[in-house]
A and B are shown apart, each in its own frame.
Chain A
Amino acid sequence: MNRTRTLLKKLAWSIFTILFVIVLNFFLFRVLPGDPARAGVRDPRLKKEAVEMLRVRFGLDKPVINCFESLNPIKLGSCTVNPLDTQFFIYVRNLLQGELGISYHTNRPVADILAERLWNTVLLIGAGQILSIMIGVVFGVFAAWKARTAIDYSAVITSLMAWSLPTFWLAILLLFWGSNNGLPLAGKATPGSSALPLLQQWADIGIHMILPTLTYTIIYMGEYTLIMRSSLMDVLSEDYILTAKAKGLSTFQILKDHALKNAMLPLVTVIAINLGFTVAGAIQIEAVFSWPGLGLAIFEAVGRRDFPVLQGAFVLIAIAVIFANFLADLTYNYLDPRVQTE
């Protein structure tokens, strides 16, 4: 009963956050000076008709939202306009229909470009997360179990060093390393590999994934090691560990049956909060290895000042992260008995 209630609350909260992102995105692109569509309208060299055409073409002739004619908050407009005919609601409607505008560079719908890129990013982040979490958990457990020994200290120092690496720089270093070891350096597949049988295609993608995934794993492994270590240290100092020891359980049994689950629970939350940061890593990795994901799309769009793509990528990534956060909350609720029954 209460569990459903918390879930609904979390869901409502996620939806509210998504709405916030949508509104933020709308205003960012209208308040900040860089958008070429609006810059074009202000270009003094254009004739009046041309300006008018541009305004109509980009929907700038419509009021921003009910009661506000333009972004100047003092200059009020009519409140009785059809809300569906204002810039804001047209923007929201388009967004809901999955329409994110047309790329300045390729003239293709942004939604199409991003849709084919999204899964590549999910693939990269997925593989990287699984690996870095697994390695981080193992290292963290060893460090905490062997606390205050050489194993512990070297695990902590290594983790701090991994944490301090700029992602793109590590990617560049691994690029050098890979180029000396014959690994594919760019892209997701060898050109022409689509003619091969499915299994070989997958193997090809797998080989292309090695360097990006390795970079991702090294960068985030350190953080998970530190989190797992401190979480496990906390749990191992609890009284119930002493109870387990008094029961005559072996160290391995205590770790397995009493410490790991308790220590993993906070990790779920941390992984969720971290997702936003890991996206940042993915962007840099994709930029270096030309991995055709959202990050590369952003990198290319920055170079070309392709604003619709940037805008679309931001909204898509933000919504994906919020959604993933919600999923993590669900998982946590499912795993922790204290939440279920409270």
Chain B
Amino acid sequence: METTIKVIEPKNQWADRLLNFWRVFSKSRIGIVGLVMLMVIVLMAIFAPAIAPYDSSSSASVEIDDIYNPPNSVHWFGTDDAGQDVFSNFVFGARVSLTVGFFAAFISIIIGGVTGLVAGYFGGRWENVLMRITDIMLVIPDLPLMVVIVALTQPSLLNIIFVIGLLGWTTTARVVRSQTLAVKSRKFVLRARAVGAGNGHIISRHILPLVMPILVVQGVLVVSLAILNESALSFLGLGDPTALSWGQMLNYAFGRGAMSIGAWWALLFPGFGIVWVVLGLTLLGQGLEQVLNPRLDTHHLLPGRPAIQRGHVESRQAKGALLEVQNLSINYINEGKPAARAVEDVSFTLNKGELIGLVGESGCGKTTLMLSLLRLLPSAGQIVNGRVFFNGQDLTAISDEELNLVRWKEISIVFQGAMNALNPVRTVGDQIAEAIIKHMPAIDHDKLQVRVIELLDLVGIAADHKEQYPHQYSGGMRQRAMIAMALACDPQVIIADEPTTALDVMIQAQILELLDSLRRKLGLAIIFVTHDLGVVAEICDRVLVMYGGVTAEYADVDTIYNEARHPYTQELLKAFPDLTKPKKKLSSIPGYPPRLEALPAGCRFAPRCPAAFDRCHTEQPSLSEIGEMHFASCHLIEASK
């Protein structure tokens, strides 16, 4: 039975991996530049005898006039203090510097790799002892220690390699340990252990392949450090006198009057060689890092993309509506790939004091929609059509300064996961006060403090917690603090983005009750985002069900619960228990919402829809009014009309 599983030959797998790796790496520009820079020097070192015009070891023909000659047609880089050709020495020096760099780095990588692997994998006492040793070695300044050891032993190339290698492993050990720790708890490792695989097998087959990439990046870095250290040691007078490395060339030139004679060539070129190699290695390391550990260099302060409007239809806000979203479409722009259509043609209206529920599974564009209302989308997100009217202003078109006056003062947000939404190094009271100061700069200190305490009291947090930091709060308290913060400027609209998802059921109920009572007390309009229809059943006025970025169904809460027409809404309703129908069978919808980069051609729900027919797979249904204030987008409903 077991033998049939192994189909892929490991050799092919490695070749595949390597090829795949190269494909990605070749896109990293700085990585390629670094690799080329390094290869130039490596080739120069390998073919040194063919390239160098003079044999560096013979100084038989040197005459007194040959000393410190400036660069000329015979000696391209001039001559040094011994009358030797600097260019030839430079070419042969590459051999020495690279040898030291690579061999020393090899020793460091082996020691650091094994230390990190053992500490990370076996943990416990092993880890304790090894990491303590690593910490000690990390603190001890390495160059002075190298100087002492090399001075006490013979300054030979071998000694230098060993000293640099034996002292340069600490960072590698740390990096490898944390990677091993991360890999160790992955599922396939746990599974391998559960079926009784030995430590050796797990390490070599499961851990090492995932630690290797980091080890390679680290290796590149360690080589460059070793080359720098060798040059520093040589310059300080501890180089091998028989092996003329670049550092050694600089030591001779500097110590033997190149400065006072003005023989810049004897000092410039060897140093240039070091910079070239180290920079090449650094760029290569950066390139590898980008490939192996891709980091999206994006953050919330990057300028957003300006909203664009498809048609030139002059639209205006409906009378009486507080917030009106008209035909909003949002794309995520990925360079080199088709845009992901995260939200498409969504409209809804929010009146004063109303609570609207925005329902759908994760990945249906709910959060994108909410963030776009205040133009808080990540830099890849762009409003590609539609308008957001608030008090007669189109929020998609006004300037940042104007928008900053609406943000929080008129529309505020309760984010999901309040732990991360609150700044960990500022007190909760301070963060609430900040919002008030921003929008009411004239408020005096005492009034401000009174207001903060009042807000905390409103959500049931005692005043003495004001000066505490978010990590001192419990999960429910943080969420309530977040609500207090959202209320700080008496906004007209609060967007609550899954405010209860991470909390336990009791706290969930409390938060819901709190929001509902605040709405009644303060006359707030609330947009409540959730993936749980059950949660909003009691408090919502209207429900907008989203699927795959489009409106599936939009109606008042009674219609949704009693006369849902869209199969998706019906499936969602089946997924939560109803106390009035105790015998109802709970079921979940098989599958997942579509990936936004690969939307199905027809109805986005068709692949999971129990009632899908041919047309659903080819044509996208449009949103149509099927009853009074009841909208749905489904071919089934259209057909039954």
CA distance A112 to B521 in the complex (A): 78
> What 1/0 flags go to A236-253 for Cβ under 8 Å of B?
111111111111111101
Q: Which residues from B are CB-within-8-Å of A321? A: 139-141
CA distance A261 to B298 in the complex (A): 20
B283, CB-defined interface residue at 8 Å: yes
A68, CB-defined interface residue at 8 Å: no
Partner of B138, one of A165, A276, A318: A276
CA distance A173 to B438 in the complex (A): 51
User: Which chain A residues in 259-307 approach chain B with CB under 8 Å?
Assistant: 261-262, 265, 273, 275-277, 279-280, 283-284, 287-288, 298-299, 302-303, 305, 307
Q: Which residues from B are CB-within-8-Å of A181? A: none
Point out which of B143, B264, B286, B371 has the most chain A C-beta atoms below 10 A from its C-beta: B143
A52, CB-defined interface residue at 8 Å: no
A189, CB-defined interface residue at 8 Å: no
B235, CB-defined interface residue at 8 Å: yes
Count the B residues whose beta carbon is within 8 Å of the partner chain — how many?
Answer: 76
Q: Are A166 and B271 in contact (CB under 8 A)?
A: yes
> What 1/0 flags go to B284-321 for Cβ under 8 Å of A?
00100000000001111110000000000000000000
B237, CB-defined interface residue at 8 Å: yes
Partner of A338, one of B147, B254, B469: B469
Classify the secondary structure of A's interface with B. Answer: helix
Q: Are B274 and A166 in contact (CB under 8 A)?
A: yes
CA distance A240 to B417 in the complex (A): 10
Q: Which residues from B are CB-within-8-Å of A334? A: none
Partner of B237, one of A166, A240, A302: A302
CA distance A243 to B283 in the complex (A): 36
B575, CB-defined interface residue at 8 Å: no
Q: Which residue of chain B lies nearest to A301 when distances are taken between CB atoms in the complex?
A: B151
> What 1/0 flags go to A1-25 for Cβ under 8 Å of B?
0000000000001000100110010
Q: Which residues from B are CB-within-8-Å of A35? A: 152
Q: Are A244 and B423 in contact (CB under 8 A)?
A: yes
Q: Are B412 and A246 in contact (CB under 8 A)?
A: yes
Q: How many A-B contacts if CB must be within 8 Å?
A: 232
CA distance A253 to B231 in the complex (A): 46
Q: Are A265 and B425 in contact (CB under 8 A)?
A: yes
- Interface segment out of the listed A53-61, A87-95, A144-152, A210-218: A144-152
> What 1/0 flags go to A163-190 for Cβ under 8 Å of B?
1111111001101100100000000000
CA distance A35 to B152 in the complex (A): 6
B148, CB-defined interface residue at 8 Å: yes
Q: Are A273 and B138 in contact (CB under 8 A)?
A: yes
A103, CB-defined interface residue at 8 Å: no
Query: Within the complex, what minimum Cβ distance (angstroms) separates B23 from chain A?
Result: 23
Query: Within the complex, what minimum Cβ distance (angstroms) separates A329 from chain B?
Result: 11
Q: Are A166 and B301 in contact (CB under 8 A)?
A: no
Partner of A241, one of B141, B235, B299, B371: B299
Q: Which residue of chain B lies nearest to A167 when distances are taken between CB atoms in the complex?
A: B232
Q: Are A33 and B152 in contact (CB under 8 A)?
A: yes
CA distance A279 to B140 in the complex (A): 10
CA distance A279 to B146 in the complex (A): 13
> What 1/0 flags go to B73-84 for Cβ under 8 Å of A?
000000000000
CA distance A338 to B422 in the complex (A): 13
Query: Within the complex, what minimum Cβ distance (angstroms) separates B605 from chain A?
Result: 30
Q: Are A28 and B149 in contact (CB under 8 A)?
A: yes
- Interface segment out of the listed A72-80, A198-206, A308-316: A308-316
Q: Which residues from A are CB-within-8-Å of B151? A: 34, 302, 305, 307, 310
User: Which chain B residues in 398-425 approach chain A with CB under 8 Å?
Assistant: 403-409, 412-413, 415, 417, 420-425
Query: Within the complex, what minimum Cβ distance (angstroms) separates B71 from chain A?
Result: 16
> What 1/0 flags go to B170-191 for Cβ under 8 Å of A?
0000000000000000000000
Q: Are B152 and A243 in contact (CB under 8 A)?
A: no
Query: Within the complex, what minimum Cβ distance (angstroms) separates A42 from chain B?
Result: 15
The chain A residues found within 8 Å of chain B, CB to CB, are: 13, 17, 20-21, 24, 28-29, 32-35, 144-145, 147-148, 160-161, 163-169, 172-173, 175-176, 179, 233, 236-251, 253-255, 257-258, 261-262, 265, 273, 275-277, 279-280, 283-284, 287-288, 298-299, 302-303, 305, 307, 310-311, 313-314, 317-318, 321-322, 325, 336-338, 341-342
The chain B residues found within 8 Å of chain A, CB to CB, are: 135-136, 138-145, 147-149, 151-154, 224, 228-229, 231-232, 235-238, 247, 250, 254, 259, 264, 267-268, 271, 274-275, 278-279, 282-283, 286, 297-302, 371, 374, 376, 403-409, 412-413, 415, 417, 420-427, 434-435, 438-439, 469, 471-472
Q: Give the 4 A-B residue pairs with the shortest CB-CB distance, closest first.
A: A236-B299, A280-B143, A169-B271, A248-B407
Q: List 15 A-B contacts (CB under 8 A).
A: A29-B152, A32-B149, A33-B154, A144-B299, A160-B279, A160-B282, A166-B274, A166-B275, A245-B301, A246-B415, A257-B434, A277-B141, A302-B147, A336-B425, A337-B427
Given A33-B153, A240-B422, 10 new contacts (CB under 8 A)? A29-B152, A164-B282, A236-B299, A246-B376, A249-B434, A257-B426, A276-B139, A302-B237, A336-B425, A341-B471
